[in-house]
Structure 1
Amino acid sequence: MDYDDAYANAPYIAGAEDYPDRWLAASRSWAAGQAALGRRQEDIPYGPSGRQRFDFFTPPGTAKGVLIFVHGGYWLRFDRAYWFHLGQGAMAQGWAVAMPSYDLCPEVRIAEITRQIAAAVEVAAGMADGPIILAGHSAGGHLVSRMLAPGMLSPEVAARLQHVMPISPVSDLRPLLHTTMNDDFRMDEASAAAESPVLMTDRLDVPVTVWVGADERPVFLDQARWLAEAWGAAHVVDEGKHHFDVIDGLIDPESRMVQTLLS
């Protein structure tokens, strides 16, 4: 198997090069509107580095709880600024939304990013009462899955977890050892296994829905299925969706994705 090709999404998505600009434009527009309404708190620190920051969006009235969305990009690219618009669905349903950035490889290892996201969840949890829902896409799906490792979150925050949705997650990192991306990840067999949610036999008892697009690359269909089977989790294969548009369901408050996520 050519692992670099197997884990490459953009070459197999029409117009892939246009997606980042569209994401950023939609994100900036929606976030600016929320800021004008006084519903956006910007650049909240959860750790010492410049990227350890999140933005927090609050609905009118008292929030029902907090959705924390963690972005993807193979732990190598992007930040929260591309994804704010994905909070629309949950916000319209009365939930507060936190969206963190995090340090990227190769400056840090994936295990450090996992710890950073745990810190972000802890801080965001203190900004609103009620249940906590975690969602993440691709590498973000890996990161939110890792939050279910015992001891990753404080007992108080862990007790508030209501639902976790890894979207198109990388659940077994060991195949990535065979990609050129590992030059930046710097993983060996042991560290890849330690960071693989699919191998987490001990985890918090929290409902999980693994979501993936039906038109994704075969390895991502495998990665989602492996996690759902290993954890006995709900597994949704979203017809007509690929790796870049599978997250669009988060925008619509009436979508199946949002309704499932907030259930």
Structure 2
Amino acid sequence: MNLSWRTMDRATLDAAYSNGDPPADFETRSAAFYAAHPGADLDVRYGPAPRERFDFFPVSGGKQSRAPTFVFVHGGYWQSCDKDLCAFVAEGPLARGMNVVVAEYTLAPTASMTQIVSEIGRLLDVLVEQGHTTLVLGGHSAGGHLTAMHRYHPAVKYALPVSGLFDLEPISAGGLNDKLGLSAEEITRFSPMRHIAHGAPMVVTVGNAELPELIRHSYDYAHGCADAGEHVTYLPVPGADHFSILYDLADPDGLQLSALAQLMQA
């Protein structure tokens, strides 16, 4: 595992994880997507906290009960963003014949990492109780981390972490930790790179125009899983940065969903 981040001072480390803000058209695209799907179930509760909620977009043609359900967990370094901003990504998996859930979770500093990880586990359990027994779990950035944490859930049959964060130690050493307040126990317990075991087959994706540290996370995790004998495909998306990679995910013919479909058909 590449540990070059240890040689960085605080300012350099913060810059190495500074992705900027999401493009303004995320909100525009998501608003248009909501308007085009008036039959969606919005703000469905899965727990007691205000942000423990999701939007459900059923596949068309009366195939809802037989279709797999793609669960998308947004990013934002566990401390920003919401489902409404990223809902446009549902267009891709929905067109691929999957139901889609776009979920939220409580953000830091209101929630600890322990609570955030637990909330996504509760989300998956509630979806199973509702009859969604074949889940395809995906997430972006912090959502990619949460995807990797839960690829061992029995209902998760496939996983798609996008530009994920798989080792919390470098996160704890910089400004991102000001709100997260990661404990030593949380760093160890919730770093997927440190707990590679048998889980759902995965496609691990990252934009090849992303920050080197973000690429390193995905590269190290994918190859660590492969070395452990896990069924994993590592997919750098040409020309994509940390946000534009979601445009590819929203495209049913994009590289990520094509790779996922190949995995699901294997």
How high is the TM-score relative to the length of structure 2? Answer: 0.87
Indicate the larger mover: 122-131 or 48-57: 122-131
2:208 is the counterpart of 1:207: no
Q: How far 1:75 sits from its partner (Å)?
A: 0.3
- Report the counterpart of residue 62 of structure 1 in structure 2: 63
What do the CA deviations read for 1:133-190 (whole angstroms, capped 9, x no partner)? 01100000000100034xxx4xxxx1x3221011100000100121112121111333
The CA distance in 2 between the partners of 1:190 and 1:30, in whole Å, is 40
Counterpart of 1:104, as a letter, is L
Query: Does structure 1 residue 32 correspond to structure 2 residue 35?
Result: yes
Contact 2:207 2:238 in 1 (8 A): yes
Measure the CA separation in 2 of the matches of 1:165 and 1:55: 19
Aligned twin of 2:260: 261
Name the CA distance, whole Å, in 1 between partners of 2:127 and 2:48: 16
Write the deviation string for residues 50-108 of structure 1: whole angstroms up to 9, x where unpaired: 11000100011213210000000000101100111101111112210001111000111
Structure 1's 192 and 80: CA in aligned 2 closer, same or farther, altered over 3 A? Answer: same
Report the Cα distance in structure 1 between the residues aligned to 2:195 and 2:73, rounded to whole angstroms. Answer: 20
Which position in structure 1 is the counterpart of 2:234? Answer: 235
Tell me the equivalent position of 1:13: none
How many pairs are equivalent?
A: 244
Map Cα deviations across residues 184-204 of structure 1 (whole Å, 9 max, x no partner).
Answer: 111133321211000113342
Match of 1:184, SS state, is helix
- In 1, the alpha carbon distance for the partners of 2:174 and 2:198 equals 28
2:151·2:158 contact (CA, 8 Å) conserved in 1? no
Which amino acid is 2:181 matched to? Answer: R
* More displaced stretch, 123-132 vs 190-199: 123-132
Tell me which residue corresponds to 2:110.
107
Residue of 174, 180, 196 corresponding to 1:179: 174
State the AA in 2 paired with 1:215.
Answer: A
In structure 2, the CA distance between the partners of 1:252 and 1:188, relative to structure 1 (3 Å rule), is same
Aligned equivalent of 2:210, options 213, 216, 240: 216
1:1-263 counterparts in 2 under 5 A? Answer: 1=8, 2-10=12-20, 19=23, 21-35=24-38, 38=39, 40-60=40-60, 61-63=62-64, 64-129=67-132, 131-149=134-152, 153=153, 158=154, 160-204=155-199, 206-232=200-226, 233-262=232-261, 263=264
The question of whether the paired residues in 2 share the 8 Å contact of 1:172 and 1:197 is answered with yes
- The letter of the residue matching 2:195 is M
The amino acid across from 2:196 in the alignment is T
Equivalent residue letter for 1:121: L
* Cα distance in 1 for residues equivalent to 2:206 and 2:96: 23
CA gap 1:85/1:115 in 2 versus in 1, 3 angstroms: same
Structure 2, unpaired ranges of 5+: 1-7, 227-231
Instruction: Report if aligned partners of 1:98, 1:124 keep a CA contact under 8 Å in 2.
Output: no
Q: Which runs of 5+ in 1 are unaligned?
A: 11-15
Contact preservation (8 Å) 2:237, 2:255: no
| AA in 2 matched with 1:234 | T
Alpha-carbon separation, structure 2, partners of 1:107 and 1:79:
15
Alpha-carbon contact 1:177-1:189 (below 8 Å) kept: no
In structure 2, C-alpha distance between the alignment counterparts of 1:65 and 1:92, rounded to whole Å: 12
Indicate the SS of the match to 1:83: helix
Distance 2:119 2:158 in 1: 20
1:107 is paired with a residue of what secondary structure? coil
Change (3 A) 1:54 1:129: closer
- The structure-2 alpha-carbon separation of the partners of 1:176 and 1:94, relative to structure 1 and needing over 3 Å to count, comes to same
CA root-mean-square deviation: 1.5
